[in-house]
């Protein structure tokens, strides 16, 4: 678990393109702590300019993948604590956040290929530690299953992975927004121009743990990025390709993962979520964050940090 990644030795050596997304630094331009250690960078992979935040100069590379309705910023609260001994890269998934352009599909196998090629471009071809939440879990699994030398292990948070036994049709009926978001193009047409209203209601309605699911600053950043029409559409598309994910993952699961995999869930959900992960990685382990809901990084940051560092020991 301590094998180091190959790549640049300093963050300063990473070249960045001119950003196509205006306001990409709205949440960080006055954040002195962030700007001391992290940079916004942009790299075009095929038809998508990928946005990512990178910091640190440690020999071990850790990649952070977000879900919906978030961006890289969901990890802001814990990123500095992850830096010692590591280079930390928080990626806006293709089509989302401040990444610009439309990937051919939002299927997780496709998104994972963009992440793979971005990491290859940066020189990180082996032994990358991957941390993922929500839909980012699907991307992390597809990355590890398709490019097996790239990931050293997966630390996953709160997601049911569709595949051999977890069926997309069953997932779609679990929560109200699963069914709403897949309505095409109705969901975008109803939410466009009302993103703040929708996300404010969504976070309030989905509150299930201790404290608030997001801070005011994080809510504002979510509203900003999902007010970009391409991001609003891409976010809804995540829900419309579950059947494709099920088919893709069922095939990938024919060759189980052998790297270490751990799943951290909200309170009471490990028995529901862990079996689906074990379809992909039979030796995967699981734990729960007592009292926390789905938004683990925000609601239980100390628990998340402790579990990440226990699973991926700091070099």
What pLDDT does 78 receive?
Answer: 97
Instruction: Please provide the average confidence, as pLDDT, over all residues in the chain.
Output: 93
**pLDDT for residue 1 is more than 50:** no
| pLDDT at residue 211, as a whole number | 63
Examine the pLDDT at 12 and tell me if it is beyond 80: no
Residues 151/124, Cβ–Cβ less than 8 Å:
no
Using the 8-state DSSP alphabet, how is residue 103 labeled?
-
On the question of pLDDT at 5 being above 50, the answer is: no
- Global pTM exceeds 0.85: yes
Closest C-alpha among 110, 86, 94 to residue 233: 94
Query: Which ranges constitute the DSSP H helices of the chain?
Result: 32-37, 76-82, 108-122, 135-146, 168-172, 176-181, 186-191, 195-205, 216-226, 229-240, 242-252, 270-280, 296-299, 301-311
Q: Residue 298 corresponds to which tokens in the numbers above?
A: 């925000």
The band of 2, judged by pLDDT with boundaries at 50, 70 and 90, is very low
What pLDDT, in 10s, does the model give residues 137-183? Answer: 999 999 999 999 999 999 999 999 999 988 888 887 778 899 999 99
Q: Which residues contact 218 (CB under 8 A, 6 or more apart)?
A: 73, 74, 76, 298
Q: From CA 212, how far away is CA 166, in angstroms rounded?
A: 29
Is the N-terminal amide bond of 167 cis, ω within 30° of 0? no
Provide the residue ranges of all domains of the chain, joining segments of one domain with +: 25-311
pLDDT > 90? residue 204: no
Residue range 44-96, pLDDT digits in tens: 999 999 999 999 999 999 999 999 999 999 999 999 999 999 999 999 999 99
The span from the CA of 151 to the CA of 129, in Å, is: 6
What integer is the mean pLDDT of 22-49? 97
- Picking from 313, 170, 152, the residue whose alpha carbon sits closest to that of residue 246 is 170
**What's residue 6's pLDDT?**
47
Per-residue pLDDT at 261 exceeds 90: yes
Tracing tokens 């992850």 back to the chain, one arrives at: 82
| Predicted confidence (pLDDT) at residue 213 exceeds the cutoff of 90 | no
Q: Exposed, middle or buried: residue 254 (CB in 10 Å: 0-12, 13-18, 19+)?
A: exposed
* pLDDT score of 11: 65
In this model, does residue 266 exceed pLDDT 70?
Answer: yes
Q: Is the pLDDT of residue 98 over 60?
A: yes
Lowest-confidence pick of 98-107, 182-191, 202-211, 226-235 = 202-211
**Which tokens hold the place of 196?**
């703040």
**Topology at the third CATH level for domain 25-311:** Rossmann fold (3.40.50)
Length of the chain: 315
Question: Rounded CA gap, 292 and 266, in Å?
Answer: 5
- Token digits of residue 174: 């679990």
**Alpha carbons 241 and 225: distance in angstroms, whole number:** 21
pLDDT band at 26, cuts 50/70/90? very high
DSSP state of 239: H
């Amino acid at each position: 678990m301590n094998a180091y990644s190959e790549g640049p030795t300093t963050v300063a050596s990473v070249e960045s393109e001119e950003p196509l997304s205006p306001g990409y630094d709205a949440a960080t331009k006055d954040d002195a702590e962030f700007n001391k250690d992290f940079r916004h960078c942009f790299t075009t992979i095929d038809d998508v300019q990928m946005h990512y935040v990178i910091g640190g100069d440690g020999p071990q590379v850790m990649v952070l993948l977000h879900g919906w309705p978030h961006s890289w910023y969901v990890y802001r609260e814990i990123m500095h604590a992850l830096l010692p001994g590591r280079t930390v890269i928080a990626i806006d998934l293709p089509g989302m956040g401040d990444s610009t352009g439309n990937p051919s599909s939002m299927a997780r196998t496709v998104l994972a290929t963009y992440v793979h090629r971005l990491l290859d471009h940066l020189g990180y071809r082996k032994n990358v530690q991957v941390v993922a939440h929500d839909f980012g879990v699907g991307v992390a699994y597809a990355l590890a299953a398709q490019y097996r030398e790239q990931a050293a292990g997966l630390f996953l948070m709160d997601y049911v992975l569709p595949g051999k036994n977890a069926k997309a049709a069953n997932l779609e009926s679990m929560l109200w927004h699963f069914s709403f978001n897949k309505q095409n193009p109705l969901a975008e047409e109803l939410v466009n121009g009302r993103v703040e209203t929708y996300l404010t209601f969504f976070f309030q309605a989905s509150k299930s743990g201790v404290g608030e699911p997001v801070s005011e600053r994080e809510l504002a950043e979510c509203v900003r990025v999902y007010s970009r029409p391409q991001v609003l559409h891409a976010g809804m598309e995540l829900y419309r390709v579950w059947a494709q994910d099920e088919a893709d993952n069922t095939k990938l699961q024919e060759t189980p993962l052998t790297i270490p995999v751990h799943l951290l869930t909200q309170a009471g959900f490990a028995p529901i979520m862990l079996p689906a992960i074990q379809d992909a990685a039979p030796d995967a382990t699981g734990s729960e964050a007592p009292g926390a809901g789905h938004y683990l990084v925000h609601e239980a940051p100390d628990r998340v940090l402790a579990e990440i560092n226990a699973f991926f020991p700091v070099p």
